[in-house]
Every structure is written in structure tokens, then in C-alpha cells.
Amino acid sequence: MTISIIRQPLATVDAPWVAAGIFDKDGGPASDLRGSAVEALVVRLLEEKEIKGSAGETIALHEPVGFRTRALLLAGLGAKARFDARAAYTAGVALAKRLASKPREKVGVSLAAVLEAGDPALVSSLVEGVCVGMQGPGLHKTEPNRHPFEVVLIAPEGTTDEALADLERLAARGGIVGQAVNLARMLANTPPSEKPPVVLAEVIRKAAEEHGVDVQVWNEARIREERFGGLLGVAAGSAEPPAFVTLEYLNGGDAPVVALVGKGVTFDSGGLSLKPSASMEDMKSDMTGAAVVVASILAAARLRLPINVKGYVALTENMTGGRAMKLGDVLTMRNGKTVEVLNTDAEGRLILADALSYAAEAGPARMLDLATLTGACLVALGPKIAGLFSNDDGFARDLADSSRKVGERLWQMPLDDDFKEALKSSVADLKNVGGRWGGAITAARFLQEFTADVPWAHLDIAGPSWVDAEGAARDAGGTGCFVRTLTAYLEAAAAVDGVARD
């Protein structure tokens, strides 16, 4: 996808399709539609409730009077007073998804409404959404159902040269972040037979090297040498060997290091604690945490952020082969702690335990893991909100601030010490599951045992990582959630030249 920006009146733009934002009935059409024949039509449609102007709504007007374009797509933005990054992103996805349904060489997208809202940074959110809307999940469709097009952003005629340069920078950022989201989505949507751990590791290696990120891939022998008992235990039931990938983007000089850790179960059958068939249908996406870590580090590299970031990605299948770990087995993890396995479908925490232990040994200033970890978090917070757990209030606040900035949703959950009681084992240091209650919390409390008191946060993204049903502003399948949050967090951390702060 190519993105360019022009500065001229909307009515004079010569493009087959032009998209322009409209707010709800209280905000109405943006400035570039006012005074035109279209303004009166939009106002009437809003008043008569034929359209609502809600975020994600689109309506096409063909041969609009007074415009050079052959078709004008009105993209709903919601309430003007509450217009934010989530609304801008949603509108971008919806308009791009609508227009990419057929081959189109070029589409103009007006920025007037976004700029009227008062925050030019929302231009990036709009472009991110446009990028995501142009890529669907149909990786193996014989006929493509999404057709990328050239995007021409239209700034109002009176935009100054300095402001135009800022818009160009924001548009370029949006393109990079949107492509990173699409990378995470593509990896999650790839069929499991096409991304066994070793193959996925090589995909990551090639992508990292292409963008100047140092990368190492460990094979099974190296993993055994490094004492990753959790990763080896989970992998034992699969014919496919595990892999462990480390990534380093060190562009921050003497600034502290941020460590990102991702769960990468490329298919999760549940192991001997076998999942029902219906519960396996989306388990190709159980490596979304790993995909988000990789995509976020590549985005930081492409943005040339002055920051030091290290990534750690544990990759395996969780299968039911003859050598699969059994209930009652005891695993010795990287940091020496022993874990009694009482549910083989609680495997993500086992591989993260090794990865977190290894990452903590390097002494990062902060350490964040992302994982599609528990169905319990989905029960607690629903399908659109991630659970945030942390041993550091300042870190948690910074992540929450970044998520709000980009319009993604998380909610901090408790991490009290009494939840550790549920993890006591009679034969080992820990067991890998607690009781019936607070499953997302006990899982996080388990992970905390492997953080070596490094400032740490855990995002349980089981809910927002996957969408079952298609909508006007979303695709079924992997969402690439929290790439946008992590990128914003790394940008903020780079701006203050360090992240170890209260």
C-alpha cells in the first residue's frame, strides 16, 4: 500500500472514490462538506435517522453534485465531542474494508474531520485502520476478497507547510504501525500445519533481519542445554520440535532495556487434558502473544525509535503424542523451580515461565509478557478487554495510558499474595493450576514466580486476540491486538530516555 498526501479542496479531488468523515447528528458533516449540496443531504439523513454517523458506518453517494469524484463514501465517526483514536481506527477499518471489496486503483481520504477534532495524532490512528481494513483473513481463498489500493490523504486547502509535514510524518507512522498489526494478524491466521515452531521461527528470523533487528533461533538441543524444562515438557507430545527466538533492537545507547516476552503455541490441542473439538477451532492463534511481540519490535525498528528492546518468543505445539507430558509429571524450569503438572491445557504458563526466567537474568528495567493465556480472563472481562497484571504500579499506569491513547482496552486485575496459596503442591514447588476460582489471577501469580522481582506486567489477551464474527469494522480471525499499544508505549519510553520510573 502506498500513501501520499495532497492539499486541496475536497470537491476538486480527481479520484474515482473519495471518503469523507461525518459525525453524528450533533456534529454533522465536516468542514470540507459544508456549503456543498452534500451537506444538506447529510444533515437531512441524520435528522431523519436514515444514517447515524456512528463509528464504522459507511454510506456511498454516487455522482455527487459539485464534486469531481464519481463516488463519495461517507464514513461515520461517532460523536464529535468523544472522537478518539478508537473511533478514528474503526472508521479507517470500515472505509477501507468497504472500498477494498473490489479492485480500485486509488482512493482519496479526507482528513478534515479528524483535524477538526483537535488532535492531529489521530491521523495515524485513521491510517492504521485503513491499512488493517485492506487486509482480510482469507489467506487461502482462490479469489481474493480484499484488494489494496493507493491511499491519497486530503488535507484542507489552508493547511500550512509545517502542518502538512507533520501530517506526512503521522501518516507514515500510521502506515508502519498498521502493517505491523497486519503482520501479527497474518501470523495468527496462518493454518497450523504451515507454521510449526521451527518454520515460524524462520519466518520471524527473515522478517527481523530485513529490518535490522538482531535475531537468534535456538533448536531443541540448545533449548535442552539451556534448561527450559517447561518448553520441553509442553513440546514432548508433538512430532514438531520446539524453537526459542530472541530479538534485539538496541538503538537507545545507555538507556535501559525493555523486555517483551510472547507465548507462541502454534497449535493447542490441550494435550492429554484434551480440549473439546469446538474449542480447538481457533487454536492456531494461540501464538498471538509471540506475533504481537515480534510485530511491535519490528515497528519500533522501522520507526527508528531511540530505545533498547529485547524480545523472547517461545514456540511449540501442545499435542497428545505418546511422549506427551502426563498429569502428575514434575518439570524443572529454567530458574530451578519445580512444577507439578495437573492440567496439560495450562501449558502457556509453563513455556512463559522459562522465557521470563531467561529474560529476567539479563536485568531489564521492565519486562512485559503477552499471552492468550486463560479462558477465565475472557469470562471475567469479556471478549474485548485484556487483563493487566503487574508487580509495579508505575509500569501498569504507563501501559494503561498507552492503551487509552490508541483506543485499545485493558483492565488491571489484582495480584494478591493469597492467590499463591492455590498453587501449592505437595510434591513440587508449585502446581500449574489453582482451584476453580480466579483462574486468570492464579495464572498470573504463577508467572510472577519466574520474574526475579524485575518490574513486570502480564497481559492476558485471550479475549481481544480473536474475533469469531465478521462486522463492518472488523474481520473474523486474528486481530493483532496490542501492537498499537506496545508501539505507543515504546515511543513514550523512548521520549523520556528510560523506563524505570514511578
C-alpha cell at 179: 502493517
DSSP letter assigned to residue 69: S
- Predicted local confidence at residue 118, as pLDDT: 83
- Spatial strand order in the sheet of 150-155: 3-7, 150-155, 106-110, 17-22, 71-76, 58-62
Q: In this model, does residue 500 exceed pLDDT 80?
A: no
How many CB atoms within 10 Å of residue 79? 16
3-156 matches 185-495 in fold: no
C-alpha cell at 454: 524485575
Q: Sorting pLDDT into bands at 50, 70 and 90, what band is 502?
A: very low
Helix axes 197-210, 161-189, angle to 10 degrees: 160
- Predicted local confidence at residue 435, as pLDDT: 86
Domain segments of the chain as ranges: 3-156, 185-495
323 carries an active-site annotation: no
| pLDDT, mean over the chain | 96
Q: In this model, does residue 88 exceed pLDDT 60?
A: yes
Say how many CA atoms lie within 13 Å of 300 toward its Cβ: 35
Q: In this model, does residue 483 exceed pLDDT 80?
A: yes
Say how many CA atoms lie within 13 Å of 485 toward its Cβ: 28
* Distance (Å, whole) CA 481 – CA 456: 20
Query: Across residues 82-103, what is the average pLDDT?
Result: 97
Sign of CA dihedral 270, 276, 277, 280: negative
- Predicted local confidence at residue 436, as pLDDT: 87
Out of 97, 284, 302, 349, pick the active-site residue: 349
- Predicted local confidence at residue 499, as pLDDT: 44
349 carries an active-site annotation: yes
List, for residues 368-379, the tens digit of each pLDDT value: 999 999 999 999
CATH topology of domain 185-495: Aminopeptidase (3.40.630)
List, for residues 450-465, the tens digit of each pLDDT value: 999 999 999 999 999 9
- Predicted local confidence at residue 497, as pLDDT: 58
Q: Sorting pLDDT into bands at 50, 70 and 90, what band is 498?
A: very low
When mean pLDDT is compared across 30-39, 213-222, 229-238, the lowest value belongs to: 30-39
For 74, the 3-state DSSP assignment is: strand
pLDDT over 70, % of the chain = 99
Q: Sorting pLDDT into bands at 50, 70 and 90, what band is 258?
A: very high
- Cβ neighbors of 127 (< 8 A, separation 6 or more) are 3, 92, 151, 153, 170, 171, 173, 174, 175, 178
- Domain at 3-156: CATH code: 3.40.220.10
List, for residues 293-316, the tens digit of each pLDDT value: 999 999 999 999 999 999 999 999
Out of 275, 337, 404, 474, pick the active-site residue: 275
**pTM of the entire predicted model:** 0.96
Q: Sorting pLDDT into bands at 50, 70 and 90, what band is 501?
A: very low
